[in-house]
Structure 1
Amino acid sequence: MEAVTRNFFLFLSKNNLLNDMAKKRGSSIVTGKIIAGTDFPSSVQIIKDLNSKGLTTTVDHLGEFVNSEETANKRTKEAIQTIETISRENLDSHMSVKMTSLGLDISRDLVFRNMTSILDTAEKHGVMVTIDMEDEPRCEKTLELFKQFKESYSCVSTVLQAYLYRTEQDLKELSVLKPFLRLVKGAYKEPASVAYPDKKDVDANYKKLIEQSLKSGVYTAIATHDDGMIEYTKELAAKLQIPSDQFEFQMLYGMRSKTQLDLVQQGYKVRVYVPYGRDWYGYFMRRLAERPANISFAFKGMVKG
């Protein structure tokens, strides 16, 4: 049943008609619930409120798979402005970007040029930029770019997905760079030739990757809403005597808000993934596909007063 639910929401995430309708009519429903705002300036106060509660954030302008150079350059300019605003407003926040929004599918030169401009600004202001991971066909290109940028910049990090067979080896190769890594289960529909099809296998690999990353000394962000995975990480960190400044938990804005605050009270660092923008529909459907429990979390978030 879980596989059926996942496939259903992944199917919906690619429906262009529903996506267009969501952009035009649905933004007001989800703003302040599962997205912070339709642009970054309108999101700043929500980030400040989260910071005041002891939560740090990473912000993400929703949208991907850009197919025009003009749009990619526009997204780059917006990302630079976001970094400058984070610095000016003294926000405790990172920024996440998708390579496809900066021109990955158009040309390597374009995405490299755009990302270089963003990282030049990030380095100047001391704001970490996380290169989000997308579907498997773009994984190799994304990691190649990350490795190249890591040679020149300190304010760059990336994401690894537990449902891919390749990730254990990717983690081994990246560990020598001592990067900031976010570990996730994965949210795209992938064939069994490249990804574990069964949840139990994804969960087992996720635990293996968490242990591998913590033991290697890599700063590790465990991005999950799964109580079992959270408890596993806490117990593992205690067993391995991993200091609390060597890892953090990451959760989505509008979901598990009480759990986020509880973890902060227990002394753990929690980073909230705060999306903004009008292109929220695909993001939201993939979050529902990741874990059935997210459906109830999202509903509670959207109806809260």
Structure 2
Amino acid sequence: MESVTRNFFLFLSKSSLLNHIARNWGSAVASKKIIGGKDFESAIPVIKRLNDQGMAVTVDHLGEFVTKAEIANERTTECIQTIQRIAEAGLNSHVSLKMTSLGLDIDDDLVYHNMKRILDTAEKHRIMVTIDMEDEQRCQKTLDIFKEMKSQYEYVSTVLQAYLYRTEKDLDDLNELQPFLRLVKGAYKESAEVAYPNKKDVDLNYQKLIEKQLLSGNYTAIATHDDQMIEFTKNIVKKHNIQTSQFEFQMLYGMRSETQQALVKEGYQMRVYTPYGREWYGYYMRRLAERPANIAFALKGMTRK
């Protein structure tokens, strides 16, 4: 049943018609409930409120799979402006972005140039930029870009997905860079040739990655709503006396707010992934596909006043 539910929401995420409807008529419904706002300025009050509650934030201007260079350049400029506004407003926030939004599918020189423009600004303001991971066919190119940027910049991190067979090797390969990594289970539809088809195997691999990254001494973000994974992490850090300054939990804005606040009260670092923009539909469907329990959390968030 879980596999059917996952495939259903992944199918919905690719509907251009539903995305068009959501973009034009649904943003007001999603705004301040599952996304921070229609644009970054409208998301600033949300970020400040989360900061006041003791939580850090990662913002993401939603939108991916850009096919025109002028749009990729526009997304780059918008990201630079967001970093500048974060600094000006004194917000406790990182920035996440996808390589396809900067031109990954268009031209290698374009995406490298745009990423350097962004990181030049991020270094100036000491604001972390996380390169989000996308589907498996873009994984290697994304990691190649991260390695190149990490050799030149400090304030850059990336994401590894536990459902891919290759990820443990990727983690080992990246270790020499002492990377800040966000660890996730993964949300794209992949074949059994490249990804674990069964949830149990994904969970076991996720735990292995969490433990390995924590024990490496490198900063680790555990991005999950899964109570089992949260408890696993707590037990690992307690067993090995790992300081809370070495890792953080990450959750999505609009989902499990009470748990987020509870973790802060327990003394853990919490970062809330807070997307903004009109292209929210595909993101939302993939989040529902990740874990059936997210459906209940999302409905609660969407219907709260």
Give the TM-score taking structure 1 as reference length.
1.00
Specify the alignment match of 1:235 in structure 2: 235
- Aligned equivalents of 1:79 and 1:139: distance in 2? 22
Report the Cα offset of residue 32 of structure 1: 0.5
Specify the alignment match of 1:13 in structure 2: 13
Report the Cα offset of residue 176 of structure 1: 1.1
Give yes or no for the alignment of 1:102 onto 2:102.
yes
Specify the alignment match of 1:273 in structure 2: 273
Aligned letter for 1:71?
I
- Aligned equivalents of 1:106 and 1:58: distance in 2? 26
Specify the alignment match of 1:172 in structure 2: 172
Aligned pairs (5 A) from 1:256-295 = 256-295=256-295
Aligned letter for 1:250?
Q
Specify the alignment match of 1:27 in structure 2: 27
Give yes or no for the alignment of 1:51 onto 2:63.
no
Partner SS state of residue 94, structure 1: strand
Note the aligned Cα RMSD (angstroms). Answer: 0.4
Partner SS state of residue 183, structure 2: strand
Report the Cα offset of residue 33 of structure 1: 0.2
Report the Cα offset of residue 297 of structure 1: 0.2
Aligned letter for 2:292?
P
Specify the alignment match of 1:131 in structure 2: 131
Partner SS state of residue 279, structure 2: coil
Aligned length: 305
Partner SS state of residue 273, structure 1: strand
Report the Cα offset of residue 238 of structure 1: 0.3
- Aligned equivalents of 1:79 and 1:64: distance in 2? 13
Give the TM-score taking structure 2 as reference length.
1.00
Partner SS state of residue 58, structure 1: strand
- Aligned equivalents of 1:211 and 1:265: distance in 2? 23
Specify the alignment match of 1:93 in structure 2: 93
Partner SS state of residue 193, structure 1: coil
What are structure 1's unaligned runs of at least 5 residues? none
Aligned pairs (5 A) from 1:130-169 = 130-169=130-169
Superposed structure 1 runs of 4+ greater than 4 Å apart: none
- Aligned equivalents of 2:304 and 2:95: distance in 1? 26
- Aligned equivalents of 1:25 and 1:214: distance in 2? 43
Report the Cα offset of residue 17 of structure 1: 0.5
Partner SS state of residue 176, structure 1: helix
Report the Cα offset of residue 241 of structure 1: 1.1
Report the Cα offset of residue 120 of structure 1: 0.1
Aligned letter for 1:186?
G
- Quote the sequence identity (%): 67
Report the Cα offset of residue 175 of structure 1: 1.1
Report the Cα offset of residue 109 of structure 1: 0.2
- Aligned equivalents of 2:5 and 2:240: distance in 1? 36
